């Protein structure tokens, strides 16, 4: 369906990534946010708190991130599209409720504007150190969807996509920004509402008594209801059967948890969105995401401008930009590994997504990490050096 015009601020704007994320949430249908202030993410809910009374919805500032991350889920079951916004320390506190959302198949969005860690770390400075936490942070087995914007425009566009994916697959979606993208101000074009596709909740057409809240449809995702509709349904974080009742057996565990994973894995093609630039005949593929992808583009241009050669032939380098780092594009990376010399993986952490690249490459191409502890972006020259090494 099309976006509700009330939430769409159509026009050409000059705004930062945090504000654009908020506008994306509103355009995507979010009418409820629960938050707790934390730099560098707070501007998102500050804007939401200013906008929502004239759009029609609720913002509540909770007492901590534990509360915020479950309040939003209560709102979802009350019928709202809802999200919360945080940064590293708050993201750590939210982990249990990301697991709860995965287990109860509660569609919602968690925005993490990444800053330097561990612990309080660098509150005002960028990092990309939460990528593995986004995937694996809660206990137990589940699959995750995560998106990484690299511009304020993408903060708008991909936030809508995050809400749509959450609804389509009844799952929590991680929106992994970084401080640079959050605080970078650029042109943001917000289209008219009728040009914005919004995925509505998968509300069942079945009647009470003929509906099971966790019975999967053909795409492995169950339809949903909201409270107050007469279904008298049960939701629990315990292992449950399709009717929602606790069922703590080996059989129920296997059936449920495997489906929570396969509903994401088997729908990979509908979820995954990654960008390939100049990879057709590349020797080297730089794999990057978020702000680092923009620094990496600078490094790629430097390599071309300087005309670096290997075996008397100019190095051909392209970029594989992870827009949906999770689920990780194993097959595509594996295919690329079969025809390039090496991957270069710059990231604002000491080695997270590079491990995924190395794993997916399966030894068919070298993987050279370009680690950075965070606090600023890479010096492009460090990426240039890695490209030269990978091309050897």
- Applying CB under 8 A, which residues contact other proteins? 1, 6, 29, 31-32, 34, 53-58, 60, 62-64, 66-68, 70-82, 96-97, 100, 167-168, 199-205, 217-219, 221, 223, 226-238, 245-246
Query: CA torsion sign, 320 to 326 to 327 to 330?
Result: positive
CB 45 to other proteins: min, Å: 15
**Residue among 29 and 172 whose Cβ is closer to other proteins:** 29
Half-sphere exposure of 13 (CA within 13 A, CB side): 20
Residue number, 13 or 97, with CB nearest to other proteins? 97
Nearer to other proteins, 159 or 168 (CB): 168
Q: Are 28 and 163 in contact (CB under 8 A)?
A: yes
Residue 348 token pair:
């604002």
For other proteins, give the closer residue by CB, 118 or 246. Answer: 246
Cβ at position 83, least distance to other proteins in Å: 12
Least gap, CB of 23 to other proteins (angstroms): 17
Compute the least distance from the CB of residue 314 to other proteins, in Å.
46
Smallest distance from other proteins to CB 97, Å = 6
The residue behind tokens 């936490």 is: 133
Q: Using CA atoms, how far apart are residues 168 and 363, in angstroms rounded to an integer?
A: 35
- Of 76 and 190, which has the nearer Cβ to other proteins? 76
What is the H or E stretch that residue 334 is in?
helix 330-337
Of 348, 353, 352, 350, which Cα lies nearest the Cα of 374? 348
**CB burial of residue 274 (10 Å; 0-12, 13-18, 19+):** middle
Residue 16 contacts residue 151 (beta carbons within 8 Å): no
Q: In angstroms, what is the minimal distance from the CB of 268 to other proteins? A: 14
User: Which CB sits closer to other proteins, 78 or 338?
Assistant: 78
How far apart (Å, rounded) are the C-alpha atoms in residues 233 and 213? 7
């Amino acid at each position: 369906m099309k976006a509700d015009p009330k939430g769409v601020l159509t026009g050409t704007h000059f705004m930062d990534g945090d504000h654009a994320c908020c506008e994306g949430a509103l355009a995507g249908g979010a009418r409820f946010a629960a938050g707790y202030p934390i730099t560098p993410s707070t501007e998102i809910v500050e804007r939401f708190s200013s906008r929502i009374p004239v759009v029609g919805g609720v913002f509540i500032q909770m007492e901590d991130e534990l509360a915020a991350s479950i309040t939003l889920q209560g709102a979802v079951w009350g019928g709202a599209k809802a999200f919360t916004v945080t940064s590293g320390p708050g993201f750590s506190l939210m982990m249990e409720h990301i697991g709860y959302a995965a287990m109860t198949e509660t569609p919602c969005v968690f925005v993490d504007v990444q800053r330097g860690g561990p612990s309080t770390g660098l509150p005002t400075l960028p990092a990309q150190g939460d990528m593995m936490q986004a995937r694996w942070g809660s206990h137990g087995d589940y699959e995750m969807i995560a998106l990484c914007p690299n511009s304020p425009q993408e903060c708008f566009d991909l936030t809508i996509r995050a809400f749509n994916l959450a609804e389509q697959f009844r799952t929590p979606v991680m929106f992994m920004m970084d401080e640079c993208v959050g605080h970078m101000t650029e042109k943001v074009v917000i289209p008219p509402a009728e040009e914005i596709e919004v995925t509505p909740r998968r509300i069942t057409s079945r009647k009470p008594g003929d509906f099971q809240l966790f019975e999967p449809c053909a795409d492995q995702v169950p339809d949903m209801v909201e409270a107050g509709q007469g279904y008298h349904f049960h939701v629990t974080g315990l292992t449950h059967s399709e009717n929602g009742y606790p069922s703590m057996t080996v059989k129920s565990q296997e059936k449920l948890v495997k489906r929570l994973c396969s509903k994401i894995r088997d729908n990979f093609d509908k979820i995954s969105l990654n960008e390939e630039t100049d990879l057709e005949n590349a020797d080297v593929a730089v794999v990057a995401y978020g702000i680092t992808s923009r620094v990496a583009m600078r490094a790629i241009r430097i390599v071309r401008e300087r005309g670096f050669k290997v075996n008397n032939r100019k190095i051909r380098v392209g970029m594989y930009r992870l827009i949906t780092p999770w689920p990780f594009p194993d097959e595509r990376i594996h295919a690329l590994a079969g025809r390039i010399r090496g991957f270069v993986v710059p990231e604002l952490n000491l080695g997270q997504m590079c491990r995924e690249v190395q794993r997916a490459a399966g030894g068919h191409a070298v993987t050279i990490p370009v680690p950075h502890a965070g606090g600023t972006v890479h010096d492009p020259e460090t990426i240039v050096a890695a490209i030269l090494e990978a091309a050897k």
